[in-house]
Amino acid sequence: MKVFAGNSNRHLAEAICNYLNVPLGKASVRRFADQEIFVEIQENVRGEDIFVVQPTSFPANDHLMELLIMIDAMRRSSARRITAVLPYFGYARQDRKAGPRTPISAKLVANLITEAGADRVLTLDLHAGQIQGFFDIPTDNLYALPILTHDIRVNYDIGNVMVVSPDVGGVVRARALAKRLDCLLAIVDKRRDRPGESEVMNIIGEVAGKDCILIDDIVDSGGTLCNAAEALLKNGATSVTAYITHGVLSGGAVTRVANSKLKELVITDSIQPTTAVLSAPNIRVITTASLIGEAINRTSQEESVSSLFD
């Protein structure tokens, strides 16, 4: 087994290698003057079980091309099996036709990864579970819920916690967390009566006096979370914390979260945090290295991955 990484999130790749007690594979991923990507694998991979760690986060297109070219380089170097490890799968939000004459980009990206030569895919908290079916190769979708649950137990009095879904679409995820914590569930019902009018937040559930935990898979602009936190506090919540797997945090999201009424935003390192994220007073990063590392180890040893979540 050998683990390699592109330039997307080397810190996570190094942490995974520390967990596995293997060195990070030697590879050069650089650019020519015209920004073409060039990959050179600097050690023998013939007959090896290869894992390429490369979340396709911002800049998504560059990191996706790095992944595809690395997979091609491994295949042409006679690797026995190549697993694309995508802690964050970019383009996952384009998983259906949102309107006439629009693409299903998640399927296109799945095809590209398969055609490049990947034999397996290992990913974390897909935006939509059915994306696993977009791949024509075995795909394991890991869940960050055990890591998030442990952190909540360490930092909160579970008897006073209420799990909150920030929208109706996230109820399944919120219910799973509430079941693990054995606590109550509330839902933020978000509505916009007319175009251009501000959203009306209705809270389904009694949150007064509770420490509310918002749970979701992706935080991008942060607007929904910040508005939900304000609505929950207006309804009597004691505090509001958000636990999110993928901290995309584009544009002015970090400033928005820092100035919001969120007690804390907890994200994982599936996307390499920026300097702004690391310096924000109410954003904290927890690692997924042990979870992904154990999944890689079990995949290499042909053992069950799903039993990680039993």
Residues 99 and 176 in one domain: no
Q: How confident is the model at residue 200 (pLDDT cuts 50, 70, 90)?
A: low
Please report the pLDDT score of residue 195 as a whole number: 54
Mind listing the pLDDT tens digit for each residue in 207-216?
999 999 999 9
Q: How confident is the model at residue 107 (pLDDT cuts 50, 70, 90)?
A: very high
CATH number at residue 81: 3.40.50.2020
In this predicted structure, the answer to whether residue 201 has a pLDDT above a threshold of 90 is: no
Annotated catalytic, 97? no
Sequence ranges of the binding site: 34-36, 93-94, 127, 167, 192, 216, 220-224
From the candidates 2, 107, 179, 190, which is the catalytic residue? 190
pTM reported for the whole predicted model: 0.92
User: Are 228 and 266 in the same domain?
Assistant: yes
3-state SS class at 62: helix
Q: Which is nearest to 137 in space by CA: 159, 110, 156, 161?
A: 110
* Number of domains the chain is built from: 2
* Structural domain range at position 117: 2-142+290-309
Same-domain check for residues 173 and 276 = yes
188 and 65 both lie in a single domain: no
Domain identity same for 20 and 113: yes
Stretch 246-255: mean pLDDT: 93
d(CA 4, CA 217): 26
Spell out the alpha helix ranges (H) of the chain: 10-20, 60-76, 105-116, 145-155, 171-181, 223-234, 253-258, 275-279, 289-300
pLDDT given at position 190: 78
Q: Which pLDDT tens digit goes with each residue over 28-55?
A: 999 999 999 999 999 999 999 999 999 9
Averaged pLDDT, 168-179 = 91
For residues 131 and 205, state if they share a domain.
Answer: no
Residues 102 and 225 in one domain: no
Residue 202 has pLDDT above 90, yes or no: no
Asked if residue 208 and residue 98 are part of one domain, the reply reads no
Binding residues for Mg(2+): 127, 167
